[in-house]
């Protein structure tokens, strides 16, 4: 390649609609997609994106942002129409909007359960519901749902959160089956514990220091993940390098779901 030739990104010219785009995993995806040549459209309840979103807008000047609650189907339909009008369609949908919440079932208020399910599960369904007709008309598309390792296994006090993310995993697999022959791939990413504003809000609470260390050590790599590491996986699933992958729930979790540690690695001199 000659020095003057420009790098062509793996998502060059693709239009990516990302929910929860103002911060955390969503803004990290927006930035990585823009770095790979995509036009990015963001949805969030926040009116202003973080530094990653702002950088994505610098890289992709046609980037577009809308304030919307993913539980509001009428507003999501309106936003999808605006994105298609401004950017010409939707090639990739990343459902990253999410919230924490849970507790023992007898202690969880029904309205709190509904809130978590509404944002995490219904808030994944509704963008898909309104984007899929666009993708069907195009004859192509790619949907990436941000689930969680807690959608693959149980956790103490998980209740609402785990139920919502488990629902996202199965919704993903159902959509992959329904739309595969129409040229639309659907996959989920199941992050481990990732250092995001939501993570900080939960694990920054007083009295959780020891538990936080135990959770960190449950990741075989001995650390929490970064939003960029989830965004890298999203780029892979969005591009042609993953063209034979659909219906998959990909753990990106530092080995959290690989198994348990009992100390034998230390006995073998591997720690």
Q: Which of 33, 161, 193, 199 is catalytic?
A: 161
Q: What is the pLDDT of residue 6?
A: 61
Q: What is the residue-averaged pLDDT of the chain?
A: 94
Query: Catalytic site residue 161?
Result: yes
Tens of pLDDT, residue by residue over 146-178, are 999 999 999 999 999 999 999 999 999 999 999
What are the structural domains of the chain? Answer: 15-199+226-253 (3.40.50.720)
Q: What is the pLDDT of residue 2?
A: 53
Q: What is the pTM of this model?
A: 0.94
Tens of pLDDT, residue by residue over 183-208, are 999 999 999 999 998 888 888 888 88
183: left (phi over 0), alpha (psi -120 to 50) or beta: left
Place of tokens 């050590």: 217
Tens of pLDDT, residue by residue over 91-129, are 999 999 999 998 999 999 999 999 999 999 999 999 999
Mean per-residue pLDDT, 76-90: 97
Q: What is the pLDDT of residue 4?
A: 46
**R_g over Cα of the chain:** 19
């Amino acid at each position: 390649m000659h020095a003057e030739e420009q790098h062509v990104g793996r998502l060059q010219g693709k239009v990516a609609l990302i929910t929860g785009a103002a911060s955390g995993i969503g803004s990290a995806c927006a930035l990585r997609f823009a770095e790979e040549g995509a036009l990015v459209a963001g949805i969030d309840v926040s009116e202003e994106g973080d530094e990653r979103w702002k950088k994505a807008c610098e890289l992709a000047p046609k980037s577009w942002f809308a304030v919307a609650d993913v539980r509001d189907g009428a507003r999501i339909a309106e936003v999808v129409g605006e994105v298609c009008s401004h950017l010409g369609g939707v090639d990739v949908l990343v459902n990253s909007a999410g919230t924490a919440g849970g507790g023992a079932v007898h202690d969880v208020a029904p309205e709190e359960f509904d809130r978590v399910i509404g944002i995490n599960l219904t808030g994944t369904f509704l963008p898909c519901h309104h984007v899929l007709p666009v993708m069907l008309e195009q004859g192509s598309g790619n949907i990436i749902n941000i689930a969680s390792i807690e959608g693959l296994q149980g956790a103490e006090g998980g209740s609402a959160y785990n139920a919502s993310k488990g629902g996202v995993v199965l919704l993903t697999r159902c959509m992959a089956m329904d739309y595969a022959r129409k040229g639309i791939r659907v996959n989920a990413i199941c992050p481990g514990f990732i250092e995001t504003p939501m993570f900080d809000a939960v694990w920054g609470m007083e009295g959780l220091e020891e538990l936080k260390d135990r959770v960190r050590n449950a990741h075989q790599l001995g650390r929490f993940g970064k939003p960029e590491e989830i965004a890298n996986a999203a780029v892979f699933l969005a591009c042609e390098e993953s063209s034979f992958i659909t219906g998959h729930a990909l753990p990106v979790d530092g080995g959290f779901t690989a198994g348990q540690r009992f100390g034998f690695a230390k006995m073998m001199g591997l720690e």
